[in-house]
Amino acid sequence: MNPRAVILLLCAFGCVSDAFHRIAMQRHRQRKLPHARHLWASRKHIRRKFGVTAAAAPQSGGSSTNSAPSEAIEPLFNAYETQFYGPCLVGNQPFTLQFDTGSSDLWIPNANCTTCAKTCDNSVFQAAKSKSFVANGTAFKITYGIGEVSGVLATDTVSIGQISIKNQGFGLVSQTDTCSSFDGVLGLAYPAVALTRQKPPFYQMIEQKLVDQPIFSFHLKSNTTDGGSLILGGSNSSLYHGSLTHVNVTEQKLWKFTMDYIGFPSRKCRRCNGCNAIMDSGTSLLVGPTEDITQLNRKIGAKYNTTNGLWEVQCARIKYLPVLELGIAGKKFHVRPQEYIIAYEDNVCITGFMDLAGINFWIIGDVFFREHYLLFDVEQNRIGIAVAK
């Protein structure tokens, strides 16, 4: 690997590490949220994040997702989308950021965000304590990010591992309607979709020659105590089996590519015939059109619960379920039922296939990342995929 690359240890669900002063699941448990609620919240977030408007026609299969059973008035606790987060310094002040390939902005909470500090217990930025801080003051609003955040733009030194980016523009959030297990977000998608119109941190790293290669890679193994790692500026072939399969990016906005198919070939179920998909570290599940998701869920005998909008399976059946297969760039990639079924408290198990009425592409989230090594190449505009060790 290259000398100028940084390996960042990430924190997964409930991991304990000295580098993090909080444990995601712990705070979530204290809140005693009914589990269904943040899944509804998560649908709402995905809708906003990608600007998907709800389909007008009611969907079959009882899976209309247009309105949550209880619209939350207090901030939503978004503990469900926290798979990839890690430490970062802004103006020498520590924050825990979500590393999100599904957006392109960097934002952190500002000292005057009372919801961030008091309700969400996030770290907040003290501009007066940073010598390198430069105010800008232009207002920004991200209406379809993780929650709705707004504030003003600013510039400061941003450090990730040994890498220090000078004059990084970012959003300082003074208002939010969502609480997350992390303080802010660091977007890793293309500059074209940066709502703050600031050059995304990874592009600054390339421009300021802080990394040797214009690539970054994710390695997340679900069954380890740490959350895996993100390598900015390099990759490590000892973390995967065989060689990488590359798929070209079809639109340089999000990490969009053409997926050949997704399904259970062993049960004669293949959905999506050369459809659009995005690789998104910031979404937990596999999200797709209602009809396709309904088919996948029915093939494994999942039951739709109309009360909470979730597809449930008996946990004891996991070992009898088929392996999910994704066709990408002529190759087959697999996700075991242990990964695509999510065990919940009280022995409730739900599937990792979430429908979103009105969506016309697939979102390939952490369920896929957990078993695959993923390399993102911003120069050759392609994604490399291999089975993770």
Ligand X SMILES: *[C@@H]1O[C@H](CO)[C@@H](O)[C@H](O)[C@H]1NC(C)=O
Residues with a known catalytic role: 100, 280
**DSSP sequence for 21-80:** S--HHHHHHHHT--HHHHHHHHHHHHHHHTTPPPPSSPPSTT---SS-SS--SSPEEEGG
Whether the CB-CB separation of 38 and 31 falls below 8 Å is answered with: no
Size of interface with ligand X, in residues (CB under 6 A): 24
CB closer to ligand X out of 56 and 274:
274
Paired residues of 56 in beta bridges: none
341 token code pair: 């079924």
Piece of the chain touching ligand X by CB under 6 A; list 43-51, 57-65, 133-141, 272-280: 133-141
- DSSP designation for 197: -
Q: Which of 240, 227, 288 is nearest to 98 (CA)?
A: 227
- Interacting residues with ligand X between 273 and 292 (CB under 6 A): none
Residue with tokens 């926290």: 82
- Interacting residues with ligand X between 190 and 209 (CB under 6 A): 197-198
CB closer to ligand X out of 118 and 197:
197
Residue with tokens 């293949």: 270
Q: Is 110 in the site for ligand X (CB under 6 A)?
A: yes
* CB neighbour list of residue 343: distance below 8 Å, 6 or more residues apart: 315, 349
Phi and psi at 266, nearest 5°, equal -65, -20
Interface with ligand X (CB under 6 A), residue from 93, 308, 315, 317: 308
**Least distance from C-beta 380 to ligand X, angstroms?**
7
Q: Is 223 in the site for ligand X (CB under 6 A)?
A: yes
Q: Are strands 349-351 and 341-343 parallel, antiparallel or unpaired?
A: antiparallel
Q: Is 315 in the site for ligand X (CB under 6 A)?
A: no
Q: Is 97 in the site for ligand X (CB under 6 A)?
A: no
CB closer to ligand X out of 183 and 359:
183
Q: Is 239 in the site for ligand X (CB under 6 A)?
A: yes
Q: Is 305 in the site for ligand X (CB under 6 A)?
A: yes
Q: Is 169 in the site for ligand X (CB under 6 A)?
A: yes
Interface with ligand X (CB under 6 A), residue from 46, 153, 160, 359: 153
* CB neighbour list of residue 135: distance below 8 Å, 6 or more residues apart: 127, 152, 154
CB closer to ligand X out of 21 and 332:
332
Piece of the chain touching ligand X by CB under 6 A; list 130-138, 200-208, 275-283, 371-379: 130-138
**Least distance from C-beta 124 to ligand X, angstroms?**
11
Q: Which of 271, 325, 261 is nearest to 294 (CA)?
A: 271
Q: Is 314 in the site for ligand X (CB under 6 A)?
A: no
**Least distance from C-beta 344 to ligand X, angstroms?**
10
Q: Which of 332, 373, 338, 371 is nearest to 352 (CA)?
A: 338
CB closer to ligand X out of 322 and 358:
322
Piece of the chain touching ligand X by CB under 6 A; list 84-92, 158-166, 300-308, 359-367: 300-308
Site string for ligand X, 330-369 (x = CB under 6 A): --------x-------------------------------
Q: Is 152 in the site for ligand X (CB under 6 A)?
A: yes
Q: Is 318 in the site for ligand X (CB under 6 A)?
A: no
Site string for ligand X, 27-56 (x = CB under 6 A): ---------x--------------------
Calpha distance 215→179 (Å, rounded) = 30
Which amino acid is residue 347, in one-letter code?
Answer: N
Residue 354: Cβ within 10 Å count: 28
**Least distance from C-beta 282 to ligand X, angstroms?**
22
Please give the C-alpha separations between residue 307 and each of 39, 42, 303, 310, 353, in angstroms, as whole numbers.
13, 16, 12, 8, 17
Provide the H-helix boundaries in the chain: 24-31, 35-49, 114, 201-207, 290-299, 337-340, 366-369
CB closer to ligand X out of 164 and 258:
258
Binding residues (CB under 6 A) for ligand X: these are 1, 7, 36, 110, 112, 136-138, 152-153, 169, 174, 197-198, 223, 236, 238-239, 248, 305, 307-308, 312, 338
